[in-house]
Structure 1
Amino acid sequence: MDEHKKSIHYLLMADHFMVQKALLSQIKDTELTMGQPKVLDYLKDHDGACQKDIAAGCHIEPASITAVLSGMENKGYIQRSTKAGDRRSLYVYLTDKGREYVEMLNKKFDLVESVALRGFTAEETEELQSLLVRVYDNMKGSEKDNRKEERKR
């Protein structure tokens, strides 16, 4: 393996690319487009979330989430509505079709994970998960620090 291919940033990017490529291959026969699988996965645990929270939870720019959700609503995966007393925000709910797709996606996510983690022990899988959470938390903290610095300028 080339020296640069051993760097952490390269490995993180390459692993992300390979997992995303495998997942896209798994869903190519569906009507789902980029961004929609992670929104469905997010709504599985946060049904009735507002658009802003979905954007943050899925790491999608707030300006882009409206288009992603519109496409999903047009295909019948979700429905958007306001809550009584709060006409400013739209809340997003899975439809029956959306729930069916969540079930199908979970099986495909599990398949891709099983390929990625082939040969890993349960302990190694748990350790990898813990390390990835730490990387994420570090980067999220760094992002907040950068925003604070920008506000000071």
Structure 2
Amino acid sequence: MDDSLHYLIMANQMLVQKALLYKLKDTGLTIGQPKILDYLSRHNGSNQKEIARACFLEAGSLTTILNKMEEKGLIRRQILNGNRRSFHIFMTEEGKKKQQLVSEAFSEIERKAVEGISKEEMEGFLSVYQKIYANLLDEAGSSSINKKTDQ
């Protein structure tokens, strides 16, 4: 196993993704949908630009995912304040049920991930990881990563 930071970040993300998809295999949810439901659970009614930015998705990819979610009855799009250029996304009752399953799956994965780690170790890790996130977000802000989702 490679102990470099970039490898561990990438490997952990893939392991979480695989575990999540395994736990949700009987729900009909596909890649990208759990992350959007998780975001909407805290930001229901967000517009597509906000969702794309928060979920680190390209606008085109988000549109494809949202179309499938709408077909499954998980979300509904709504125009607010007469602005026809911006749809706001709301979870349906079915979407809220699926989101609850997503939340439970994330909780199980997190419990397993932090097994054997003390509260103090976890607090220290989160503090450092938040700094890494801020540094990378700053770097992304000066690169094309965020500029594509801002269009």
Distance 1:13 1:121 in 2: 24
Shift of 1:84: 2.5
> Which structure dedicates a bigger proportion of its chain to strand?
1
What TM-score results when the alignment is normalised by the length of structure 2?
A: 0.90
Amino acid at match of 2:36: V
The one-letter code of the counterpart of 1:139 is L
Amino acid at match of 1:137: A
Farther off after superposition, 81-90 or 33-42: 81-90
| In structure 2, C-alpha distance between the alignment counterparts of 1:24 and 1:129, rounded to whole Å | 24
> Which residue number in structure 2 is paired with residue 86 of structure 1?
83
Paired residue for 2:98, among 82, 101, 105? 101
**Is residue 148 of structure 2 the alignment partner of residue 143 of structure 1?**
no
Specify the alignment match of 1:133 in structure 2: 130
Cα RMSD over matched residues? 1.4
Aligned residue identity for 1:105: V
C-alpha displacement at 1:85, in angstroms?
A: 2.6
Match of 1:121 in 2: 118
Judged with a 3 Å threshold, the aligned counterparts in structure 2 of structure 1 residues 94 and 10 are, in CA distance, closer, same or farther, namely: same
Q: Are 1:10 and 2:2 matched, yes or no? A: no
Secondary structure of 1:81's match?
A: strand
Considering Cα pairs closer than 8 Å and 6+ residues apart, tell me whether 1 or 2 has the greater RCO. Answer: 2
Is the contact between residue 33 and residue 65 of structure 2 (CA under 8 Å) also seen in structure 1?
yes
Report the identity percentage.
41
Query: In the TM superposition, what is the alpha-carbon distance from 1:121 to its structure 2 partner?
Result: 1.1
Q: Number of paired residues?
A: 145
Shift of 1:146: 2.8
The answer for the alignment partner of 1:67 in structure 2 is: 64
Return the alpha-carbon distance in structure 1 between the equivalents of residues 34 and 143 of structure 2.
29
Q: What TM-score, normalized by structure 1, do the two folds share?
A: 0.89
Structure 1: runs of 5+ lacking an equivalent: none
